[in-house]
């Protein structure tokens, strides 16, 4: 529900249009619909709370009236999250891991909703600037998420409500994004479901020299690599195509394991 998202900004600005897009994704195999009113692409500007709320609440209300699919609200603002949950959302998807708004943990505890904790270096407007070097990016991500899990659980969030996301493209170089996917099985040591969001992102464009609208095949390769490593959730744009990628990848992995990898 934003005019400036990196991939489909402006494509679903009308409430009816957005709801139909969400229902279409459900029909194509999506198990969760993520609704956001503030772009978090690199260089994006923050959106005032009333504007963000006006974008997401009517869409969530309309979706909830027409489907029982899980709905997550992509926000860093406690007031937006609280209103979205009241409108029918089930999960808070916070790119700041509940750090940007001190009231966000309280909202999560009060509601008992699901929570997605993501790793991000810096903030969306500046996260791709400056020194992005890291001796062990996955080690850094795992340590950070471990600390955030411990913190929010100590504040009252149920551990079983938490999902973790390494934040592909959020303050990372192309090589670091690739390493996070290649080593994504390490995230399972946190003991919580793992979500990856590689879809159409700039590292795929850098590798393939394709514009955003033509990164489906590259996204499929990233999703296949993640699925082969046992990642639990993938946030994608092309639902039906990526569902097929996952089904085939998991079938191959199953046969490989049964035959001892031969």
Domains of the chain: 15-258 (3.20.20.20)
Mean pLDDT of 184-212: 96
Q: How many CB atoms lie under 10 A from the CB of residue 109?
A: 16
Instruction: Give 63-73 pLDDT, tens digit per residue.
Output: 999 999 999 99
Q: Is the pLDDT of residue 10 over 60?
A: no
Confidence tier at 136 by pLDDT (50, 70, 90): very high
Q: At residue 91, does pLDDT exceed 80?
A: yes
Catalytic residue among 201, 210, 215, 243: 201
- pTM of the predicted protein model: 0.90
188 is catalytic: no
Q: Which one is catalytic: 121, 179, 192, 235?
A: 235
| Average pLDDT, integer, range 24-34 | 97
Which of 78, 150, 65, 67 shows the shortest CA–CA distance to 113? Answer: 78
Closest by alpha carbon to 89, among 60, 129, 46? 60
Q: Is 235 marked active-site?
A: yes
């Amino acid at each position: 529900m934003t005019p400036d998202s990196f991939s489909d900004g402006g494509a679903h600005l009308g409430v009816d249009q957005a709801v139909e897009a969400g229902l279409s994704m459900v029909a194509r195999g999506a198990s969760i619909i993520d609704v956001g009113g503030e772009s978090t692409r690199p260089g994006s500007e923050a959106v005032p709370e009333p504007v963000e709320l006006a974008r997401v609440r009517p869409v969530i209300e309309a979706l909830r009236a027409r489907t029982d699919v899980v709905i997550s609200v992509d926000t860093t603002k406690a007031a937006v999250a609280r209103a979205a949950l009241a409108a029918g959302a089930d999960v808070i998807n916070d790119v700041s891991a509940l750090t940007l708004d001190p009231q966000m943990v309280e909202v999560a505890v009060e509601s008992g909703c699901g929570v997605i904790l993501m790793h991000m270096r810096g903030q969306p407007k500046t996260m791709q600037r400056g020194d992005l070097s890291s001796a062990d990016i996955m080690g850094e991500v795992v340590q950070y998420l471990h600390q955030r899990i411990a913190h929010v659980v100590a504040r009252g969030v149920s551990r079983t409500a938490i999902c973790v996301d390494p934040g592909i493209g959020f303050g990372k170089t192309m090589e670091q994004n690739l390493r996070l996917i290649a080593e994504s099985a390490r995230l399972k040591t946190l003991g919580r479901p793992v979500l990856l969001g590689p879809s159409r992102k700039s590292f795929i464009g850098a590798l393939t020299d394709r514009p955003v609208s033509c990164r489906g095949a590259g996204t499929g390769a990233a999703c296949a690599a993640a699925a082969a490593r046992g990642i639990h959730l993938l946030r994608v744009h092309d639902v039906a195509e990526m569902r097929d990628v996952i089904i085939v990848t998991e079938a191959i992995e199953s046969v490989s394991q049964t035959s001892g990898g031969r």
